[in-house]
Structure 1
Amino acid sequence: MNKSVLVIAAHPDDEVLGCGGAIAKHVREGDVVNVVILAEGLTSREQKRNRELLKMELNELAASARKANEILGVSSLTIGSFPDNRMDGIERLDVIKEIEKYISQFMPDIIYTHYGGDVNIDHRVIYDAVVTACRPVPQYCVKQLLFFETPSSTEWQIPNPSSHFGPNWFVDISGVIDLKKEALSAYASEMRDWPHPRSIRAIEYLAFWRGACIGVETAEAFVLGRNIT
């Protein structure tokens, strides 16, 4: 039976960095994948948030997101307007209610989202909100909850028992790694040169390493939060 998959990410490119291969594989297997990006991106790079000043760049980033997700084959892409890297200033209930809205709309069997130990504050806020929104009440649609690693955020956190990313769920992306790389290339403004961890080369190396961990060519790694069968 085909599944409904919802990816909840903070910023444009996080969805591809974290689970672009899994998205492409779900689509190839006939699952329906919807992507929700909650924050705008870019505006934290200025001293003060000014969407008007960066209107052109934000439009270009949104166009990149549409192109990247079209490459992966997602059914829908939603880009929200929460402030970039300032989501700790939003009341948590407001974030939870926004996420609950999309869960009610798409009725996902599976949710992919950020890992809670990331250095990026928006990732942590979204992690907490998703966990709260996905309380396993009777007859709840979400059966599987997976947290992805985001290069240039997950590994940049100082290791401690509460932040350590210890993957226990892997997806073999050997047949779709080229689609992930193509989708990342659509985010030209967000990608960086090697040896930055958000470079195509670094992300490819990570995929090879995660694959080697489980005896396949390439893989993506996740922390399984919940799995109901």
Structure 2
Amino acid sequence: MGELKHLGRVLVIAPHPDDEILGCGGTMARLAAEGHDVHVAIATQGYPPAFSEESVAQVRREMTNAHEIVRVTKTHVLDLPAAALDQVPASELNARLGRLVEEVEPDTLFLPFVGDIHGDHQLIFLASMVAARPRHDKAPSRIFCYETLSETNWYAAPITPAFVPNVFVDIADTLQVKLDAFAAFESQVRRFPEERSIEAIEALARVRGAAVHLRAAEGFMLIREIARKA
């Protein structure tokens, strides 16, 4: 299995807890195993009355457990309002993501896909791209979008942007870690054939892998890569 040294320090930005595991949990686990710093930013949390305090606390505990399983270096929680990011001024959202990227100084960003059906995903993608503008030497060298089951494939492609992966990461050795990490989100796991089921997550990994003659993979869309001189 080839190494992923070129990815350097990684920041995964997730609109909600569990998006990061669905989208790139296997890659995160592989990166951690290969010695990378893997940071995760959870952009939102639920607030009453839409979300009970008990359910929010449960998901926070589940997130902590999942991140321990994949060996996340540090989790950054922004506490923006879930399912209500459209009510946050764009200037504030851009500033919050900008400060995060400035703090972590990632070489590589993993973002939700702009064509996801959930508005929070779209807004986090846009704000992250503003934060990652290549205006200085420490701007992220590469940006990938990940796919999130029940979000990326439920919009209206080809009317809306379609997720067409052009980068595949071998996760044959870390697929079970990804499945275990998602299972830690007990409140979010659904019974097959719902998409947020363990069986569906494994099936997607097998399909993405088979597309490039691997036993399991995660697929990404490369948005930008800057090949800087050493």
Same-fold status (TM-score > 0.5): yes
Report the 3-state secondary structure (helix = DSSP H, G, I; strand = E; otherwise coil) of the residue aligned with 1:214: coil
Aligned-pair Cα RMSD in Å: 1.4
Q: In 1, distance between residues paired with 2:139 and 2:117?
A: 30
Query: Could you tell me which residue of structure 2 aligns to residue 88 of structure 1?
Result: 86
Q: How does 1:116-131 map to 2 (within 5 A)?
A: 116-131=114-129
Query: Could you tell me which residue of structure 1 aligns to residue 42 of structure 2?
Result: 37
Amino acid at match of 2:49: N
Q: In 2, distance between residues paired with 1:168 and 1:182?
A: 26
1:106 aligned to 82, 104, 107, which one? 104
Deviation at 1:158, TM superposition (A): 1.2
Amino acid at match of 1:38: A
Deviation at 1:182, TM superposition (A): 0.5
Query: Could you tell me which residue of structure 1 aligns to residue 20 of structure 2?
Result: 15
Query: Could you tell me which residue of structure 2 aligns to residue 177 of structure 1?
Result: 175
- Residue 37 of structure 1 contacts residue 78 of structure 1 at CA under 8 Å; is this kept in 2? yes
Deviation at 1:161, TM superposition (A): 4.8
Q: Which runs of 4+ in 1 moved over 6 A?
A: none
Deviation at 1:92, TM superposition (A): 1.4
Q: How does 1:53-72 map to 2 (within 5 A)?
A: 54-72=52-70
- Residue 62 of structure 1 contacts residue 79 of structure 1 at CA under 8 Å; is this kept in 2? no
1:24 aligned to 22, 26, 29, which one? 29
Structure-2-length-normalised TM-score:
0.93
Q: In 1, distance between residues paired with 2:130 and 2:82?
A: 21
CA deviation string 1:37-76 (max 9, x = no partner): 01114x5xxxxx427x611111111010000001000111
Amino acid at match of 2:181: A
Query: Could you tell me which residue of structure 2 aligns to residue 208 of structure 1?
Result: 206
Amino acid at match of 2:162: H
Query: Could you tell me which residue of structure 2 aligns to residue 222 of structure 1?
Result: 220
Report the 3-state secondary structure (helix = DSSP H, G, I; strand = E; otherwise coil) of the residue aligned with 2:181: helix
Q: In 1, distance between residues paired with 2:155 and 2:85?
A: 18
Structure-1-length-normalised TM-score:
0.93
Q: In 2, distance between residues paired with 1:134 and 1:214?
A: 30
Q: In 1, distance between residues paired with 2:113 and 2:53?
A: 29
Amino acid at match of 1:80: L
Identity %: 33
Deviation at 1:189, TM superposition (A): 0.2
1:157 aligned to 137, 155, 158, which one? 155
Q: In 2, distance between residues paired with 1:141 and 1:25?
A: 24
Query: Could you tell me which residue of structure 2 aligns to residue 198 of structure 1?
Result: 196
Query: Could you tell me which residue of structure 1 aligns to residue 136 of structure 2?
Result: 138
- Residue 39 of structure 2 contacts residue 73 of structure 2 at CA under 8 Å; is this kept in 1? yes
- Residue 35 of structure 1 contacts residue 76 of structure 1 at CA under 8 Å; is this kept in 2? yes
2:146 aligned to 148, 159, 162, which one? 148
Q: In 2, distance between residues paired with 1:191 and 1:123?
A: 20
